[in-house]
Structure 1
Amino acid sequence: MSDPYSQSLPAADERSPAERRAVSSLASLYALRMLGLFMVLPVLVTEGQHLNGATASLLGLAMGVYGLTQALLQIPAGTLSDRIGRKPVIIGGLLIFALGSLIAAMADSIWMLIAGRALQGAGAIASAIMALVTDLTREQHRMKAMAFIGASIGMAFSVALVLGPWLAGLGGLPLIFGVTGVLALGGIVVTLTLIPNPPRLTHRDSTAVWSDVLVQARNRQLWPLNSGIFLLHALMVAVFVAIPAHLLQLGLSTAQHGWLYLPVLLLAFVLMVPFIIVAEKKRRMKSVVLTGALMIAASLLLMALATSLWHWALVLLLYFWGFNLMEASLPSWLSKVAPAGAKGSAMGIYSSLQFFGAFVGGALGGWLLSHYGSSAVFVGLGALMVLWALYLSRCPAPPYLTSIRLVSHGCSGEQLQRLQALPGVAEVSVLASEGAIYLKVSADAFDYEAALAIIETTGEKHGSQR
């Protein structure tokens, strides 16, 4: 298998054409899948009411059940991609996702819709895609690659909230799920034709290792972040169980909901950017995350009082502003505190809880709506976010560290001491079975070339971690 990165690599600060093509194709692949998942969020509860056996509780379950299967299979799918390759797992996951979309499109009962949504979630490819990013990019460009993919997901979310209601107005849920299935098949075409075939790498900062997952599950530094992403995505699904009915009552048809969401999402994104810059450049991440959490809590409490479209526009702006701040900041915080060589396992737990939160949010939101009404959904979830913010306020701010991976097929105790003594190095972890050394460093003070000189290796051409 040829390696497109071993030939004619540009200077370290310049991305190669192969890297640019890989990142753009992976971003489009991820966006296609997430677009398919997100389109149904703003319309499923209102459009699914005609299904046989539909109740508010079961519609909420249908909203979130994809998160349950996704959470259960997230880490196993990443591990499987280490063994059989990234592309087979991605293609298999997209085929499962397409099949689930087909079942959901044909559903005439709520239970058939739930089965289709569960099968959609079983096509868990997120971990394999992120591992492929690591395989296809060099260390100095990996943060940019991850940021680009993150931006593509955010754009997919925004487009989905507009496109979903429009498609629902044209053909209801069958059309939405039909388009979702076509998008999944389009993702297979992207995988086969546009994404390069790199050599597979063993890399503990990109995929989870089962033995380390158990260790990181007991890491108390990670649980504020794990619980935060769980709650954030539980809220995201739960609020969309309740919001569409309010907009309908105010005279806004389902097809028009997207025109309320679009300007709100765009403005929320613009307002988020300065805060993210402050979080990273001014090292105020804890304050920014707490600000986002309190924005979400305030918006949820105000949703219980909203009585006009202008009220909803303002509270949704506040909600998405806070949501974007937390969604962008929490994974960055996790990468800073995850131990050297354990980021993949820590991120596997984090991602699994993110999807499990979507499941709980759908099920809980539907149950609360069915038994106590939408005000209970908004006030109850707002109170939970306030409690989480109080929990986070007692946690230390994250150190501003990044992970570095160095190839080493043997390193003496004296060399390890010299590595540990380098300016900016906070932690060193040797994994002899992988032939690698992982470090947690302060990027401002760390000298990468000095570290390479110590271990007497030129390092990987593309597989070091960021």
Structure 2
Amino acid sequence: MTGTPARAAPSAGARARWRRGGTPSLPPLPPLLRLLIGTQLAFNIGFFAVLPFLAEHLGTAVGMAGWLVGLVLGLRTFSQQGLFVVGGALADRYGVRPVVLAGCALRIAGFAWLGWAESTWAVIGAVLLIGFAAALFSPAVESEVARQAVCWEEGGGGPRTRVLALFTVAGQAGAFVGPLLGALLLAVDFRTVCLAGAAVFVLVLAGHLRLLPQHIPGRAAAPAPGGARALLRDRRFLALCLAYGVYLLAYNQLYLALPLEVERAAGSQAPLAWLFALSSALVVTAQLPVTRWATARLDLRRSMAAGLLLISAGFAAVAATRPAAWTGGAALLPSAGLVVLLTLGQMLLAPAARAWVPDLAGEGRLGLYTGALSSVSGLVVLAGSALTGSLLEAGLPAAVPWLVLTALPAAAVALLPRHGPVRP
């Protein structure tokens, strides 16, 4: 595990408790973990208060053409996801605190700039700043959560996947609350929404200035340069990235293939809001029980494999019914099945993938590897989304695109490293 001199084996009693699925009263999380998990909640509240309303604002208030709106949104994604590896490497080199604080400051400036931006170049500059801010603080926070989760596990507190599942729940709760806050403030204007998002990050910045340690005990400094070359030669890690990228590509179909299917079945995309709410509710209510079940029965590789197979089954449900071309309320059942199975697959897969990274990262390289997991898998999504979009528009038989989407997660099981760590 990166950042600790040696691994302390969990006690036999702790191993037995985890295999039984845990105890009603696990030890409380240490203050640093509570701070970082709360950070994820606040990050997503501030971010999702603004993001869902950005495209409409750019198209109506700013008057951008549709292609330009798409370009701006794509640039934001690239400046964030594509540069995670940079933020992770900086966290390894300079520590978590300065990188998180810098990211918060840039996000505040970006949201404030976006609120007043009226020209195309001003909007592009603001969204690039907003994206790069996340590329700084997100991998720093995620890598430290993973490191602290391993320390908590090694101290007998409980499986690391429980901590990472709680981190996921906090993020999903923020993604649920943020749009509600933004919708309320949009009654004033979009500038107010942006200022509210900036205000959230002002609070986060102030909290971290006070509470985030300057030097986190046990965190190793990055070794000499060369980590990127070692990462690119690490076949096990790259295989994990590719498998995780296929999962993200499948998840991206909630925004690409699913809306098309919902509009075909229902005549509009109005039911999408309910399907997204269903996904959020599942994560918030079921993530921790699902993780507890998986921890007691599956190692990390099997948990990821089971998640991929559930996602594949979700696409298969749509593929099986698509040739019948049903319409109406009942025709939405396959789409609902896809959302449920994809979300359950996510709950098994995402915590396991992030729990695996500390075992693959070299000493002092956890930030780099955490960022690379997002950046490499983001490239998979970028390439795969273009191909998926082409399939959906190619005029093929109705079931063909969905069969391809069914096959991809199932095939990705073979990409998972064969000799991953086994849960103790």
SS in 2 for 1:180: helix
Q: How many pairs are equivalent?
A: 384
Alpha-carbon distance in structure 1 between the residues aligned to 2:95 and 2:342: 39
Which one is further off, 180-189 or 387-396?
A: 387-396
CA-based RMSD: 4.6
* Partner amino acid, structure 1, of 2:227: D
For the pair 1:239 / 2:254, whether they are aligned, the reply is: yes
State yes or no: 1:321 paired with 2:344: yes
Q: Is the 8 A contact 2:241 2:376 kept in 1?
A: yes
Choose from 110, 116, 119 the match for 2:129: 119
Q: What is the TM-score of this pair, normalised by structure 1?
A: 0.64
Q: Could you tell me whether the CA contact under 8 Å between 1:336 and 1:400 is conserved in 2?
A: yes
Q: Look up the equivalent residue of 2:231 and give its one-letter code.
A: Q
Counterparts in 2 of 1:233 and 1:101: CA distance versus 1, 3 Å: farther
> Residue type of the partner of 2:200?
L
TM-superposed CA distance for 1:326, in Å, is 2.0
Correspondence for 1:418: none
**1:321 offset after TM fit, Å?**
1.8
Q: For 2:30, what is the secondary structure of its paired residue?
A: helix
Work out the CA distance in 1 between the residues paired with 2:315 and 2:210.
Answer: 44
Question: 1:185-240 deviations in whole A, cap 9, x for unaligned?
Answer: 12101101233343575527xx6874133112122222231012223334444532
TM-score, normalising length from structure 2?
Answer: 0.69
In the TM superposition, residue 182 of structure 1 has moved relative to its aligned partner by: 2.0
Match of 1:186 among 203, 208, 214: 203
Cα distance between partner residues in 1 of 2:397 and 2:132: 31
Whether 1:54 aligns to 2:69 is no
Conserved? CA contact 1:60–1:241, under 8 Å: no
2:414 is matched with which residue: 381, 393, 398?
Answer: 393
- One-letter amino acid of the counterpart of residue 22, structure 1: L
For residues 257-406 of structure 1, the aligned pairs below 5 Å read: 260-267=275-282, 276-277=291-292, 279-300=294-315, 305=322, 307-308=327-328, 310-311=332-333, 312-337=335-360, 343=366, 345-356=368-379, 364=386, 372=393, 380=401, 383=404, 386-393=407-414, 395=416, 397-401=418-422
- Say which structure is richer in helix: 2
Query: Is the 1:239–1:377 Cα contact (8 Å) retained in structure 2?
Result: no
- Give the residue type in structure 1 aligned to 2:393: Y
- Alpha carbons of 1:342 and 1:184: their partners in 2 closer, same or farther (altered >3 Å)? closer
Tell me which structure has the larger Cα radius of gyration. Answer: 1
Higher normalized strand content (fraction of residues): 1
Deviation at 1:122, TM superposition (A): 0.8
Separation of aligned partners in 2, 1:36 and 1:259: 22
Q: Is the 8 A contact 2:75 2:127 kept in 1?
A: yes
Give the whole-Å Cα distance in 2 for the aligned partners of 1:374 and 1:156.
Answer: 38
Aligned residue for 1:240, secondary structure, equals coil
Q: Which runs of 5+ in 1 are unaligned?
A: 1-12, 402-442, 445-466
In the alignment, which residue of structure 1 is the partner of 2:244? Answer: 229
Task: Tell me: higher relative CO, structure 1 or 2? Use CA pairs within 8 A at least 6 residues apart.
Answer: 2
- Over 3 Å counting, the alpha-carbon distance change for 1:287 and 1:22 in structure 2 is closer
Are positions 1:74 and 2:87 aligned together? no
Q: What's the CA shift for 1:29?
A: 1.6
Q: What does residue 220 of structure 1 align with?
A: 235
Tell me how far 1:168 sits from its aligned partner: 3.7
Letter of the aligned partner of 1:180 in structure 2? G
In the alignment, is the contact (CA less than 8 A) between 2:304 and 2:348 conserved in 1?
yes
Gaps of 5+ in 2: 1-13, 15-24
Cα distance change, pair 83–387 in 1 and its aligned pair in 2 (3 A)? closer
